[in-house]
């Protein structure tokens, strides 16, 4: 009899324990559901949205493009959709969105930079390293940067005889006397009125193109803002500009803003005009980083103030040919 009573009370205790476990489990689930509902309705709404890294667009324009506004819930936000919309703006390259609880949203922007420009019917198009059209500018022809013509003409050797090597002293004195007389006559002539013929003004170059080289001789057939440019040339230069730009900017002693022209004449004939005087002949983009490092070394050794051809088509045999 005693055993039966004891078993009865044990069963009763176990039932109470189970009831408590079920009760507290249901209570916990209910609390979590309530918290989840409140988090997407009442709590964690954006009161502050910080935008960093933007220069071409205002924060308001970027947020409007992405569909973001104060009051939106941080957890109901579809970050990938917002980023995709923001990247439709031509100058926006990457977007990173961070939630800072309880009520702040951080938007970090990395912008595209104009890497080259190419001529259009009414001006120029600015392109990034992937040929994406960032902007179309209506610029008069006279405001475009003049592309330097760097050429090293061969100096013909003049044949001389022994008699011609040293001019006679009498002839030299006569020439000096004539030059002095001519100088005296010119000094006696009245000075011309400078107001009659004003000095020619230097051409004004469009400010937005300074430090951005021209991409030649490619001819663009389609230039739509926000989309990659299409060129008429049969050869495919996909990825060429990106490889060149990244290799160039990773070379410490070279500066992209000193480039005047990027010439894609052929896939095996790529040249750069640097500092208006130096033509860097790369040939192909194979081993581009090595070639540019050699070019930087040669420029450091010889300087870039003299017109010259720098041939690094073969990294094992580099030529530096200055104009004499």
What pLDDT score was predicted for residue 160?
38
Query: In the prediction, which pLDDT does 158 show?
Result: 40
Q: How far is CA 276 from CA 81, 133, 151, 196, 307, in A?
A: 45, 26, 11, 33, 8
pLDDT per residue over 142-168, tens digit each?
999 888 876 554 444 444 334 444 444
Given 63, 86, 111, which residue is the final one in a domain?
111
Q: How confident is the model at residue 304 (pLDDT cuts 50, 70, 90)?
A: confident
**241 and 311 belong to one structural domain:** yes
Could you tell me the pLDDT band of residue 245, with boundaries at 50, 70 and 90? Answer: very high
Are residues 129 and 278 both part of a single domain? yes
pLDDT in tens, 55-106: 999 999 999 999 999 999 998 899 999 999 999 999 999 999 999 988 999 9
In a domain, 290, yes or no: yes
Asked if residue 17 belongs to a domain, the reply is no
- Which CATH number does the domain housing residue 121 bear? 3.40.50
Q: What pTM does this model have? A: 0.73
In order, the DSSP letters of 279-306 are EEEEESSTTHHHHHHHHHHHHHHH-SSS
- pLDDT 10s digits, 272-283: 999 999 999 999
Q: How many CB atoms lie within 10 A of CB 156?
A: 6
* Total number of domains constituting the chain: 2
pLDDT one-digit tens code per residue, 166-183: 444 444 445 555 555 554
Whether 27 maps to a domain, the answer reads no
Based on the fold, state whether residues 308 and 257 are members of the same structural domain: yes
Question: Does 225 share its domain with 291?
Answer: yes
Instruction: Establish if 163 belongs to a structural domain.
Output: no
Answer whether residue 107 is part of any domain: yes
pLDDT of residue 147: 86
In a domain, 271, yes or no: yes
**In a shared domain, residues 285 and 222:** yes
Q: For residues 12 and 25, give the distance between their C-alpha atoms in angstroms, rounded to a whole number.
A: 20
Burial of 179 (0-12, 13-18, 19+ CB in 10 A): exposed
pLDDT above 80 for 301: yes
Among 117, 114, 103, 107, smallest CA distance to 87 is for 107
Q: Could you say which of 82, 111, 140 is where a domain stops?
A: 111
* Residue 213 and residue 295 in one domain: yes
Task: Tell me the HSE value of 241 on the side-chain side, using a 13 A CA sphere.
Answer: 25
- Kindly report the CATH number assigned to the domain that includes residue 97: 3.10.20.310
pLDDT of res. 270: 97
- Report if residue 67 sits inside a domain: yes
232 shares a domain with 94 = no
What was the pLDDT predicted at 318? Answer: 94
pLDDT of res. 9: 62
pLDDT band with cut points at 50, 70 and 90 for residue 231? very high
Average pLDDT, the chain: 83
| pLDDT tens per residue, range 6-43 | 666 666 677 777 776 776 677 677 666 655 555 555 56
Of the two residues 134 and 177, the one the predictor is more confident about is 134
My answer on whether 132 and 244 are in the same domain is yes
Q: Is the pLDDT of residue 236 over 50?
A: yes
Same domain for 121 and 229: yes
Q: Decide if 265 contacts 295 (C-beta within 8 A).
A: no
- The answer to whether the CB of 254 falls within 8 A of the CB of 292 is yes
What is the distance between the alpha carbons of residues 298 and 304, in angstroms, rounded to a whole number? 9
Please report the pLDDT score of residue 39 as a whole number: 52
| Cβ count within 10 A of residue 183 | 9
- Does the pLDDT at position 117 exceed 70? yes
How many of the other CB atoms lie within 10 Å of CB of 43?
15
Indicate the length of the chain as a whole number.
324
The domain containing residue 280 runs over which residues? 116-149+208-322
> Does 105 share its domain with 214?
no
pLDDT tens-place string over residues 200-216: 566 677 888 999 999 99
Higher pLDDT, 17 or 46: 46
Contacts of 296 (CB under 8 A, 6+ apart): 251, 252, 253, 254
- Do 107 and 126 reside in the same domain of the chain? no
Between 160 and 108, the more confident residue is 108
By the 8 A CB rule, do 214 and 115 touch? no
Please state the rounded mean pLDDT for residues 262-291: 96
Q: How many Å apart are CA 122 and CA 269, to the nearest integer?
A: 29
Q: Is 28 inside a domain boundary?
A: no
Question: Do 65 and 88 contact (CB within 8 A), yes or no?
Answer: yes
Shared-domain flag, residues 98 and 124: no
Tokens (6 digits) for 134: 């960032």
């Amino acid at each position: 009899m005693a055993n039966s009573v004891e078993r009865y009370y044990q069963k009763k205790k176990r039932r109470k324990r189970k009831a408590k476990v079920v009760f507290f489990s249901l209570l916990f689930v209910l609390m979590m559901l309530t918290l989840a509902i409140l988090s997407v309705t009442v709590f964690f709404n954006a009161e502050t949205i910080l935008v960093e890294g933007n220069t071409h667009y205002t924060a308001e324009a970027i947020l409007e493009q992405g569909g973001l506004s104060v009051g939106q819930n941080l957890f109901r936000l579809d970050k990938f959709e917002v980023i995709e919309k923001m990247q439709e703006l031509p100058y926006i390259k990457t977007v990173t969105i961070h939630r800072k609880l309880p009520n702040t949203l951080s938007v970090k922007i990395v912008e595209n930079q104009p890497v080259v420009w190419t001529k259009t019917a009414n001006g120029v198009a600015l392109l990034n390293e992937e040929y994406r059209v960032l902007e179309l500018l209506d610029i008069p022809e006279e405001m475009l940067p003049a592309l330097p013509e760097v050429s090293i003409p061969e100096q013909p050797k003049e044949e001389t005889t022994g008699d011609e090597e040293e001019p006679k002293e009498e002839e030299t004195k006569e020439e000096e006397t004539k030059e002095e007389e001519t100088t005296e006559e010119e000094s006696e002539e009245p000075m011309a009125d400078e107001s009659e013929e004003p000095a020619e003004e230097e051409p004004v170059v469009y400010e937005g193109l300074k430090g951005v080289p021209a991409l030649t001789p490619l001819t663009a057939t389609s230039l739509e803002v926000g989309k990659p440019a299409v060129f008429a040339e049969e050869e495919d230069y996909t990825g060429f500009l990106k490889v060149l730009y990244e290799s160039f900017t990773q070379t410490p002693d070279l500066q992209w803003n000193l480039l005047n022209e990027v010439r894609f004449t052929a896939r095996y004939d790529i040249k750069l005009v640097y500092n208006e005087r130096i033509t860097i002949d790369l040939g192909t983009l194979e081993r581009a980083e090595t070639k540019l490092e050699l070019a930087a070394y040669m420029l450091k050794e010889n300087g870039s103030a003299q017109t010259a051809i720098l041939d690094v088509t073969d990294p094992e045999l580099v030529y530096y040919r200055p104009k004499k």
